[in-house]
Amino acid sequence: MRHARAQRSEWTFLTNHARVLLAVSRDPGVRLRDVALTCGVTERTVQAIIADLEEAGYLTRESRADDGRRNHYAIVPGSLFRHPAEGGHEIAGLLALLSPPHHNGGTRPG
C-alpha cells in the first residue's frame, strides 16, 4: 500500500493563487521574485497570478515605493471567494487565519 501512495501526485489544500495572495497580504511591498521562491513557482507564474488577481478585483497595484523599484499591492476589502461552494465568504477570513497574529493583512482602510 505504501508504494501505491508514493505514485499518487502530491497535492495541497491551497492553490498557487491563494499562496500568492497570502504572500502579498503579509507584505504588500514584497518582490515577486521572493513570492516565487516562497510559493515554489517561477516569477513569470507569479506575474500571471498577480494579473489574474488584479483583473478579478482581489487586489490593486499602488504606486511604486520610494526606491522606484517595487510595486505595492492592497487586498480589496470584502472580496469573496470565487467558487459557489464558498461564495458567501470573504477571503479576509482565510488571510487572517493564515497570517501572523496582529497583522493587518495588507488591506486598504475603508
Q: 31-66 pLDDT, tens per residue? A: 999 999 999 999 999 999 999 999 999 999 986 666
Q: Are 107 and 90 in contact (CB under 8 A)?
A: no
CATH (domain of 76): 1.10.10.10
The answer to whether position 80 is within a domain reads: yes
Domain span at residue 58 reads: 2-98
The answer to whether position 33 is within a domain reads: yes
Is the pTM of the predicted complex or chain greater than 0.95?
no
Phi-psi region of 68 (alpha: psi -120 to 50; beta: other; left: phi over 0): left
Highest mean pLDDT among 10-14, 64-68, 72-76: 72-76
- Cα separation, 104 vs 92, whole angstroms: 10
User: Which H or E element spans position 62?
Assistant: strand 59-62
The total domain count for the chain is 1
Residue from 47, 105, 100 nearest 77 by CA:
105
The answer to whether position 109 is within a domain reads: no
Given a cut of 50, whether residue 109 has pLDDT beyond it is: no
Q: How confident is the model at residue 70 (pLDDT cuts 50, 70, 90)?
A: confident
